[in-house]
Chain A
Amino acid sequence: MLTKRIIPCLDIKNGRTVKGVNFLDLRDAGNPVELAQFYAENGADELVFLDISATEEKRKTLANLVLHVAEKVNIPFTVGGGISSVEDVDVLLQCGADKVSINSSAVKRPELINELSAKFGSQCVVVAIDAKQVDGEWKVHLVGGKVATELNLFDWAKEVEKRGAGETLFTSMNNDGTKNGFANEALAKLSEDLNIPIIASGGAGRMQHFADTFKEGKADAALAASVFHFKEIAIPELKEFLNDEAILVRM
């Protein structure tokens, strides 16, 4: 049977990991390749690299990083952060990325989703959606939740699927950073509305939160950063826990 996926997310700036990862016995804690290898060897099902740098050399640095990750890491990985054209994606896929994740650029120009899925196949197009619940309505936000749009989360998610996204990564800005659990109600509705896999993001704090998002939120995968990077949750233990909760995971 298909298993639920656990996905650590690595924030990257100028080719280095941003968040503290000093718990690991790595020679170089800021080296994304070493961190990726550590996670791959310790039960992660996939990895996401989110590039938050804003330099001129960004494209080149990111492509170079992707090449080094692909060389060393034997599980799939997604690359996101500032990707806005077919050419950007072409370079990253050629360097060995399995999927790319687009966010603001898809909101600004939704045709990009069609173009990418037509050229590279929907399987490598992840559309990330950041949304915040404002007065009872889920509104899509941009720039890490800072800029509100008029788009309704569920309408946008359906459009994203129709345009050819292979997966969607939903981050609840209300939950992100709270460590109080994922936005399971919205996630469950997304899962009902859409027929593509949904990755839950934002709010992971305890192992129970992962079980909840798979059961109540009907998520296909769960993404988290700090709980893994600060070793608050170790993936092998998390998987044992989920297995005991009768949730299918790769052991």
Chain B
Amino acid sequence: MKSKEQKSSPVGGNKGGLVIINYGAGNIQSIKFAIQRLGFEAKLSDDPEEIQQADKVIFPGVGEASSAMKKLKATGLDQLIPELTQPVLGICLGMQLMCKHSEEGDTKGLGIFDVEVKRFSNQVKVPQIGWNQISNLQTELFQGIKEQEFMYLVHSFYAEKCDEMISETTYDVAYASALKKNNFFGVQFHPEKSSQAGERILDNFLNINI
């Protein structure tokens, strides 16, 4: 086993810990385990108060956009998430739902990122499944990650390139595989499934202080 780097600080802050939003859309167990491998504990919650008090929030998501958005609305989380002020990381569909609008099910998003989510064309196989590279890496989220690092992706829809892009990937077109605005981060890839480099990105997120 390769030795892991020593963890510098607990999940920034010290009260509410890390909360993974549990709204019935996605493989949250894997994220929870990845956090555990980094030496931290994550709480799964759909309780607005608990989410609000967390030091860090992960917003996961797998599946179809419009039905996931319905689930968010049913619990009022669609109102709460854009109001959060602590670091928030959207993963996969979570990131897409943080955008302005998605072609999938003609879904209005949370509007945190000012970008449109579109479907890959049939010039390529859809969904994109597998390991692709990330480049033009920006912000502390990618600290210690080399350009052209491989990440695991599974998706049929993508966020267009935009001002908020902090990582770029090419499949069919060049698109934004990560976004950032203020305290909000979003990644299209699955850091929890992307080997050691993915775990480093999660670790970076856990150590972000805003």
Contacts and interface: CB of A to CB of B under 8 A. Distances in A.
Contact of B127 (A94, A98, A196, A250): A196
B209 interface: no
28 contacts: A1-B132, A2-B131, A3-B131, A3-B132, A41-B2, A71-B36, A74-B34, A74-B195, A74-B196, A74-B198, A74-B199, A75-B193, A75-B194, A76-B154, A94-B29, A98-B154, A120-B63, A122-B156, A123-B154, A123-B156, A166-B154, A194-B125, A195-B126, A196-B125, A196-B126, A196-B127, A197-B125, A197-B127
Given A74-B195, A124-B62, 7 more contacts: A2-B131, A70-B33, A74-B198, A121-B62, A122-B127, A123-B155, A123-B156
B130 A221 contact: yes
Question: Can you list the 6 inter-chain pairs with the closest CB atoms, starting with the nearest?
Answer: A96-B29, A121-B63, A250-B150, A250-B131, A123-B154, A2-B132
Interface in A1-32: 1-5
B170 A123 contact: no
Contacts of A130: none
Nearest to A5: B130
Contacts, number: 93
A40 interface: yes
B188 to A, nearest CB: 12
A220 interface: yes
Interface of B: 1-2, 27, 29-30, 33-34, 36-37, 62-64, 122, 125-133, 150, 152, 154-156, 170-171, 190, 192-196, 198-199
A121 B128 CA distance: 14
A233 interface: no
A188 interface: no
A98 B127 CA distance: 14
A5 to B, nearest CB: 5
A93 B150 contact: no
